[in-house]
Amino acid sequence: MDARPSMRPSKPPTVAELAAQGENFAFNTNISLKHWMRTAETLYQEANFALSDGDYGRAYVMLYRHSVLVLKCLPKHPQYRDPETRQACRSLSKRVNRVLDDIAQLKPLIEQSVKEWERMKPTDKLQEPRKSDASLSYADFAARDPTLSGNAKILDASEHQDLAVDLAQKELRRRDIVRHASRHEATQSNGSLVVGNGDHINAGPDADLRSQMEMARRNLDSPGSWNQGDSGASGPKGYSSNFVSQSYNYPLVSRSQPVACEGTTSQSQDSAGPAPPQPDRPPKEPTYSLYREGQQGPPRIPQKVQLESYESLVPSSAQQEPHYQAPMLPPKTSSDFTPAAHKKERLTFKPGAYLENGDPIRSIFLPRGIRESFLDIAAPNTRAGIEMCGILCGTPINNALFVRCLLIPDQTCTPDTCETENESAMFDYCDREDLLVIGWIHTHPTQTCFMSSRDLHTQAGYQIMMPESVAVVCSPKFSPRCVFFEMFPPEDSKTEANAPRTVTAYFV
Helix 33-52 vs helix 83-120: angle between axes, to the nearest 10 degrees? 30
pLDDT at residue 182, rounded to an integer? 76
What's the rounded mean pLDDT across residues 398-422? Answer: 93
CB 153 within 8 A of CB 346: yes
What's the rounded mean pLDDT across residues 439-451? Answer: 93
More reliable by pLDDT, 21 or 308: 21
> Residue 164 and residue 219: Cα distance in Å, rounded?
36
Phi, psi (deg, nearest 5) at residue 153: -105, 115
Beta bridge partners of 440: 391, 471
pLDDT at residue 274, rounded to an integer? 55
What's the rounded mean pLDDT across residues 486-505? Answer: 55
Q: Is 399 left (phi over 0), alpha (psi -120 to 50) or beta?
A: left
CB 438 within 8 A of CB 472: no
3-state secondary structure 239-296: ECCCCCCCCCCCCCCCCCCCCCCCCCCCHHHHHCCCCCCCCCCCCCCCCCCCCCCCCC
Instruction: For residue range 463-481, list pLDDT tens digits in order.
Output: 999 999 999 999 998 988 8
> Residue 227 and residue 203: Cα distance in Å, rounded?
17
3-state secondary structure 315-331: CCCCCCCCCCCCCCCCC
Query: Is the model's pLDDT at 339 over the cut of 80?
Result: no
At residue 118, the 3 state secondary structure works out as helix
Which residues does 11 contact at the CB level (< 8 Å), separation at least 6? Answer: 114, 117, 118, 121, 124, 127, 149
Nearest to 229 by CA among 201, 206, 192: 201
What's the rounded mean pLDDT across residues 326-344? Answer: 47
CB 134 within 8 A of CB 95: no
Instruction: For residue range 261-278, list pLDDT tens digits in order.
Output: 444 444 444 444 555 566
> Residue 146 and residue 140: Cα distance in Å, rounded?
12
Strands, E, within 108-176: which ranges? 152-155
The answer, as to whether pTM is greater than 0.75, is: no
Q: Is 5 left (phi over 0), alpha (psi -120 to 50) or beta?
A: beta
Among 172-186, 325-339, 423-437, the range of highest mean pLDDT = 423-437
What mean pLDDT value characterizes the chain? 74
Query: Is the model's pLDDT at 9 over the cut of 70?
Result: yes
Percent of the chain with pLDDT over 90: 38
Which residues does 455 contact at the CB level (< 8 Å), separation at least 6? Answer: 442, 471, 473
State yes or no: cis peptide before 480, omega within 30 of 0: yes
Instruction: For residue range 72-119, list pLDDT tens digits in order.
Output: 999 999 999 888 888 888 888 889 999 999 999 999 999 999 998 888
pLDDT at residue 313, rounded to an integer? 36
Instruction: For residue range 194-208, list pLDDT tens digits in order.
Output: 333 333 333 333 344
Q: Are strands 470-474 and 436-443 parallel, antiparallel or unpaired?
A: parallel
76: DSSP letter: G
Which CATH number among 3.40.140.10, 1.20.120.1200, 3.40.50.720, 3.40.630.10 corresponds to the domain 361-507? 3.40.140.10
What's the rounded mean pLDDT across residues 3-25? Answer: 84
pLDDT at residue 119, rounded to an integer? 84
pLDDT at residue 207, rounded to an integer? 41
What's the rounded mean pLDDT across residues 126-139? Answer: 61
pLDDT band with cut points at 50, 70 and 90 for residue 133: low
What is the dotted CATH code of the domain comprising 15-123+135-154? 1.20.58.80
CB 430 within 8 A of CB 474: no
> Residue 32 and residue 81: Cα distance in Å, rounded?
13
Phi, psi (deg, nearest 5) at residue 437: -80, 110
Beta bridge partners of 410: 421
Which residues does 503 contact at the CB level (< 8 Å), separation at least 6? Answer: 364, 470, 484, 485, 486
pLDDT band with cut points at 50, 70 and 90 for residue 399: very high
Weakest mean pLDDT among 33-42, 229-238, 421-430, 441-450: 229-238
List the domain boundaries for the chain. Answer: 15-123+135-154, 162-223, 361-507
**CA angle, residues 228, 233, 236, in degrees to nearest 5:** 75
Which residues does 15 contact at the CB level (< 8 Å), separation at least 6? Answer: 60, 107, 110, 111
Query: Is the model's pLDDT at 457 over the cut of 70?
Result: yes
> Residue 348 and residue 399: Cα distance in Å, rounded?
6
CA 36, 37, 41, 43 torsion-angle sign: positive
First and final CA of the chain: distance in angstroms? Answer: 23
Which residues does 370 contact at the CB level (< 8 Å), separation at least 6? Answer: 392, 403, 406
